[in-house]
A and B are shown apart, each in its own frame.
Chain A
Amino acid sequence: MTATPVSTPQETVRRGSGPRPRRRVSLEPYLYLLPHAALFFVFTVYPIGYGLYIAMHRWDLLSGRQPFVGLEFFRNLFIAGTPQADFFWRTLWNTTFFTLISVPLLVAAALGLALLLHRPIFGRAFFRAVFFMPGILTVSVMGILWRWMFDNQIGLVNAARELTGAPPIPWLSTEGLAWIPIIVGTIWWTLGFNMTLYLAALGNISQSFYEAAELDGATAGQQFRFITWPLLTPITLFVVITTALASFQLFGQSLVITNGGPNRSTQSVIQYITEEGFSNSQISSAAAMGFVFGLLMLVLTAAQFRLMARDVQSSGEEK
C-alpha cells in the first residue's frame, strides 16, 4: 500500500549520485529469494486456500470422502442452538474476558515496574533479571507450577490463608475463581517482556525534558503526566496491541492449569477449536471456526501491522 513512498526517495538519490554502471536484469536476486519463497508458498499461501477448501467440504478422515457443503459450517456458527455455535461463542467470550482483564494489568504493572527500575538503583540488573526470568519458562512448566500454587487443598495460596485461619478456597473448581490462577500465572509469566519494552522506551526519553521541568518546579507526578506518559504513547499502543494479540491466543495456561474447567468456564476458543478438530475429528467445522476467529484477530493484527509499517517507512526514508 505504501510501496512507492518507501522506495522512491532512496532510488532517486542513488541514481543521481553514483556513476554506477546500469546492470541488466539478472536472475541472481530471484535465486536468493527462491528457497524461502518455495517454502512460503507451501506452508503459508497454500494452507490458507486449502483451509477454505476444507471448511467448505465435509472432511471425513475415516471414510476419505469429502462432499462439498458450501458455507454450511460457517452458517452453523451463526445459528443459535447448534453445539458448535454455543461452544464457539462461549469460549470466544471466555478468551475475550481473559484479554479484557489481563491486558490492562499487564500494561499498567509493566509500566509501574519499568518506572521503578528506570532510574539507577542498587541491584538494578538483579531486579530486571528476576522480573524477566519467569518468561523464559515454557507454558507447561508455568502452568503446572501455578496449578499447584492454587491447588484446592494444599496449594501455597490456601496454605497462606490457613495461617490467618481462613478456610481453603477451591480455586480450580469454582467457576469464576478458576480465572484467578490463570491470570495471576500469566502476569507472573509475561510481565517481564512488557517491562523490558517500557524500559527501552524510557531510556530513549531525553533527560533534558526532566531537567527543564525540574527548573520550573514540576513535581514527580506532573513530570510523569506531562512528559513521560505522552512520550510513551507510541510504545503503550504497541504494548497494548501485542499483549491483546497474545492474550487472545490463550491456550496453554488454561489447558494446563484448569483444563478449561470447571464446566468449560475457562476454556479458550483455541482449545475448543483444537478439541473440535483433533479430538472430535470435526475437521471442517474446526477449519471454519479458525477462519471466523482469524478474521476477528485480523483487526488487531492490522493495527499492529500499521505500527510496523510506519516503522519500515521511517527507516526507509532515513537514507
Chain B
Amino acid sequence: MSTPTNQAARPSAARRRRMPREVPRFVLLCILALLFLAPMYWMISTSFKNEADAISSPVQWWPARPTLENYREVLTSPDGNILRWTWNSAYVALTFTALHVLLCALTAYPLARMRFPGRNAWFWFILSSLMIPGIVTLVPTYIMMLNFGWMNSYHALIWPGISGVFGVFLLRQFFMSIPRELEEAAHLDGASSLQILWRIILPLSVPALVTLGVFAFMGSWNNFLWPLFTVTDVDKMTLPVGITTFSQRYVTDYGKLMASTTLAAIPALIAYLVAQRFLEGGLSASGLKE
C-alpha cells in the first residue's frame, strides 16, 4: 500500500518518457484522486484547528495553529463516549459475524453436500426471502423488539439479521465446487459428517468464509437505521448513531465535529488496510461470476 503511494506522489521523469501514451490518463487519474481525497483531507485538517481557524475566511488549507484540543474535548466529552461507542460497535459486529457465518455454514453444508427430501424446496424457499424488501419487516420487527424487551440491548442489534440468506447462498455455491472425492475418502475412513464439515469443507472454504465474514462485519458495523431507532441509551449506542447524536449537539463547532468523525473513521480505515484484498476481491466475487 505505502510503496505505490510514495511513487505516485512523485512520478519520475524516466518513467514518463517510457510511456508517453499513458500520461494524459495518469494526469486525469491524479486530478480525480485529488478530488476524492480532498474531503477526507479537509476533515482531518479541520480536526486540528481551533474554533476560529476552522471557520476562518479565506480557508486555511493547512492548520495555522495545529491543536489537539478538539480530540481531547471529544474524547472526554460528557455528551458521549466515542471509545464506548467504538467498543459497542466492535462487540456487536464481531458477535454478529461469528454467529452469522456459523449459521450459514451449517445450513449451506447439507444444502450443498447431502441428499434428502425437501432439500431443493427449502433452498428455494429461503432464497425467495431475498425478494422481500427489508422495509416490509422494519415496523413488525421493531414491535417484536418492544415485546421481547430488547430495546436498548445488544440483542436487538444482533439477532434480527442473523438468519440472512445471502450467506447461505454464497457458501452453498462454494461448497458445491469442492471435489466430492475428498469427502468420499473421509467417509470411507469413518468420518462423521460433522468431521467432514470441520476438517475438509471449512478449511477448503476459507476464501468464501472470509468474504462472507467481511461483508457481515461491514454490514453490522455500518448499520445505521436500525440501531438509530432501537438504541436510545447513549451508553448502548453504536458508533454511527453516537456520532450522529454528537453532531446534533455540536452542530456548528466544526473542529470538534471533524475530530469525532476522524476518530469514527479510523477503525474502518485500519480494517480496510488490513482486509483490502478480501474486500475488493470479495466484492467482485459476490457480483457476477461470468
0 or 1 for each of A186-210: is its CB under 8 Å from B? (1 = yes): 0010000100110111001000000
Which of A22-30, A78-86, A99-107, A221-229 lines the interface with chain B?
A22-30
The answer to whether the Cβ of A286 comes within 8 Å of any Cβ in the partner chain is yes
Residues of B in contact, count (CB < 8 Å): 108
Q: Is the interface of A mostly helix, strand, loop or mixed?
A: helix
0 or 1 for each of B246-287: is its CB under 8 Å from A? (1 = yes): 010000001001100100110011011000100110011101
* B2-50 interface with A by 8 A CB criterion: 4-5, 7-8, 11, 15, 19, 22, 25-26, 28-29, 32-33, 36-40, 42-43, 46
A3: which B residues are within 8 A, CB to CB? 120-121, 123-124
The answer to whether the Cβ of B162 comes within 8 Å of any Cβ in the partner chain is yes
Residues of A in contact, count (CB < 8 Å): 105
Given contacts A274-B225, A311-B288, contact A39 B159 (CB under 8 A): yes
How many cross-chain pairs have Cβ atoms below 8 Å apart between A and B?
A: 300
A129 to B8, CA, bound (A): 12
Q: Are A315 and B176 in contact (CB under 8 A)?
A: yes
A47: which B residues are within 8 A, CB to CB? 136-137, 140-141, 144
Q: Closest chain B residue to A147 by CB distance?
A: B247
0 or 1 for each of A121-152: is its CB under 8 Å from B? (1 = yes): 11111111111111011111101111011010
A134 partner, pick from B40, B42, B142, beta carbons under 8 A: B40
A146 partner, pick from B39, B272, B290, beta carbons under 8 A: B39
A138: which B residues are within 8 A, CB to CB? 221-222, 224, 239-240, 243, 264, 268
Q: Are B176 and A316 in contact (CB under 8 A)?
A: yes
Q: Are B36 and A29 in contact (CB under 8 A)?
A: no
B139 partner, pick from A43, A137, A162, A277, beta carbons under 8 A: A277
0 or 1 for each of A143-178: is its CB under 8 Å from B? (1 = yes): 111101101011010010011000000000000000
B4: which A residues are within 8 A, CB to CB? 123-126
Residue among B39, B59, B193 with the highest chain A CB neighbour number at 10 A: B39
Please give the distance in Å from A69's CB to the nearest CB on chain B. Answer: 16
Q: Are A50 and B280 in contact (CB under 8 A)?
A: no
The answer to whether the Cβ of B229 comes within 8 Å of any Cβ in the partner chain is yes
B134: which A residues are within 8 A, CB to CB? 249
B33 partner, pick from A127, A156, A311, beta carbons under 8 A: A127
Q: Are B58 and A136 in contact (CB under 8 A)?
A: no
Q: Closest chain A residue to B115 by CB distance?
A: A11
Q: Are B288 and A235 in contact (CB under 8 A)?
A: yes
A117: which B residues are within 8 A, CB to CB? 29
A11 to B119, CA, bound (A): 12
Given contacts A35-B103, A134-B40, A297-B133, contact A252 B139 (CB under 8 A): no
B140: which A residues are within 8 A, CB to CB? 47-48, 50-51, 54, 287
B residues with CB within 8 A of A? 1, 4-5, 7-8, 11, 15, 19, 22, 25-26, 28-29, 32-33, 36-40, 42-43, 46, 55, 57-59, 103-104, 106-107, 109-111, 114-117, 119-124, 126, 128-144, 146, 159-163, 165, 168-169, 173, 176-177, 184, 193, 218, 221-222, 224-225, 229, 239-241, 243-244, 247, 254, 257-258, 261, 264-265, 268-269, 271-272, 276, 279-280, 283-285, 287-290
